[in-house]
Amino acid sequence: MRKPTTDREILKVIHDHYYKTFISYGISDESRESKIYVPIDCEYLANKLRVDQDIVFGRLYYHLDKKYGYQQPNGSQVHLFAMRVGKDQHAVHFPLLSAVLAEQNYNWFQFYAPLLISIFALTISFFGAL
């Protein structure tokens, strides 16, 4: 059985695939409604991650948006994943996604760096004892 896809993997695939789309937005660009929200293709992402399309959609809509979306002091909502932004369907708030991914990469490094150093030190100690 395949292990579940992590939030970090999903966000990384989205970030890597749609970064050029995000930065290529121009003032008179009519390809999407706004620079901040980039429409995504859940089916493409699911194929790239080798999971069902509903897994990608569900993780973005039911989990990640609830976890990282927030309310502004004026009461307006900021969504990580929006069902619709103008005419665009299934859009991610790209700067927020980028910030969340950076935080997750930092947390991943913070966990695995000491672990790898400990394993290396243990290996050196083991071979030193022989």
pLDDT of residue 81: 97
Range of the domain at 21: 7-129
- Identify whether 1 is part of a domain: no
**Residue 19, SS3 per DSSP:** helix
Using a 10 angstrom Cβ sphere, with 0-12 exposed, 13-18 middle and 19 or more buried, the burial of residue 45 is buried
pLDDT of residue 31: 79
Give how far Cα 37 sits from Cα of 78, 79, 84, 123, 126, Å. 11, 9, 10, 48, 52
- Identify whether 2 is part of a domain: no
Number of domains in the chain: 1
Amino acid at site 28: S
- Dig out the tokens for 68 from the structure: 């990282």
pTM: 0.82
Eight-class DSSP state of 81: E
pLDDT digit string, tens, across residues 104-118: 988 877 877 788 888
Q: What angle do CA 108, 121, 110 make, to 5 degrees?
A: 15
- Dig out the tokens for 78 from the structure: 């900021």
